[in-house]
């Protein structure tokens, strides 16, 4: 087994961070799926999918206006607007804007959406500095992944609820991927039943993330561990997330169009996904712990 001095380990980590920032910037500019249109559709009840093929956006509709989760890149805003209109609603009726976490692929379009709709922007407390600095305060990508900064109207805390016209969403802090990464839960009435929806923020450990001796995020490993405990505790019928590949969007959508029983009602798929992501986190943590000795 190869061993490294502390200086060698630090140098390797810094190099990994730099490379991951470059890779993320390239992905943001070049991942075609993230900006590729995808059919807008009703998931269940008043919950709609209005995102691209690679980036997930959700519209929760009410008689008093609507809630939008995630703003994506600025370039995605016209796509989101068109999707909202395709399912029969006015973009200007969006009253509340939420995000899953403060990375540019989920929040860079927020300033534009606020300007177009006047929506109230609500963000989990630990992600507020990143949002209001336009990404510059991000522990991992602050040197390269910048976007228009925007003022947060309401600072959220773990367990806070967001309500509009009878819709109630609960903000669950699931940190690690970002310090304020948020998993949204709500109850959806559809087809004579009520379903627990979980929109996973992100449990992923990105390439280059330092889980051991991270000076910019000392408790990152503890936060990831907490996230998995939270996710495992949540009741879930409707399994959704910040990216379509978390919950099998492209495979499930054709099944829904074919008239199958709602494939997004997938509690077992949710459990498998959380378990697989936790195993991946623990493998990476163990690898870095060994390398740091």
pLDDT for 106: 98
Q: Is the pLDDT of residue 3 over 80?
A: no
> Is residue 291 classed as helix, strand or coil in its secondary structure?
helix
Please write the tens of the pLDDT for every residue from 232-291. Answer: 999 999 999 999 999 999 999 999 999 989 999 999 999 999 999 999 999 999 999 999
Dist CA 7 CA 54 (whole Å): 39
Each residue's pLDDT tens digit, 170-188: 999 999 999 999 999 999 9
In this prediction the pTM is 0.90
Chain segment 202-220, per-residue pLDDT in tens? 999 999 999 999 999 999 9
**121-126 mean pLDDT:** 98
Q: Pick left, alpha or beta for residue 65 (phi over 0 → left; psi -120 to 50 → alpha; otherwise beta).
A: left
**How far is Cα 95 from Cα 183, in angstroms, rounded to an integer?**
20
Average pLDDT over residues 185-205: 97
pLDDT of 116 > 80? The answer is yes
| Cα–Cα distance, 256 to 267 (Å, whole number) | 16
How confident is the model over 19-71, as pLDDT tens digits?
A: 334 434 444 444 899 999 999 999 999 999 999 999 999 999 999 999 999 99
């Amino acid at each position: 087994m190869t061993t490294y001095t502390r200086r060698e380990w630090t140098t390797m980590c810094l190099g990994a961070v730099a490379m991951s920032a470059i890779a993320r910037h390239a992905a943001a500019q070049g991942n075609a799926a993230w900006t590729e249109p995808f059919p807008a559709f009703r998931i269940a009840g008043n919950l709609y999918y209005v995102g691209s093929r690679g980036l997930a956006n959700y519209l929760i509709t009410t008689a008093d206006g609507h809630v939008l989760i995630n703003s994506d890149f600025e370039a995605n805003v016209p796509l989101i607007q068109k999707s909202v209109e395709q399912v029969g609603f006015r973009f200007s009726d969006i009253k509340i804007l939420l995000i899953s976490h403060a990375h540019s692929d989920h929040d860079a379009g927020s300033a534009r959406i606020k300007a177009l709709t006047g929506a109230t922007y609500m963000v989990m407390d630990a992600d507020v500095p990143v949002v209001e600095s336009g990404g510059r305060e991000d522990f991992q990508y602050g040197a390269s992944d910048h976007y228009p900064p925007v003022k947060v109207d309401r600072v959220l805390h773990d367990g806070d609820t967001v309500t509009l016209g009878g819709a109630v969403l609960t903000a669950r802090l699931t940190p690690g991927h970002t310090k304020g990464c948020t998993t949204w839960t709500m109850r959806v009435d559809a087809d004579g039943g009520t379903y627990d929806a979980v929109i996973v923020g992100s449990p992923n450990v990105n390439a280059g993330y330092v889980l051991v001796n991270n000076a910019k995020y000392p408790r990152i490993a503890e936060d990831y561990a907490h996230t998995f405990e939270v996710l495992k505790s949540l009741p879930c019928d409707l399994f959704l997330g910040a990216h379509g590949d978390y919950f099998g969007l492209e495979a499930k959508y054709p099944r829904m169009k074919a008239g199958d029983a709602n494939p997004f009602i997938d509690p077992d798929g949710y459990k498998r996904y959380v378990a697989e992501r936790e195993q991946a986190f623990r493998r990476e943590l163990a690898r870095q712990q060994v390398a740091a000795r």
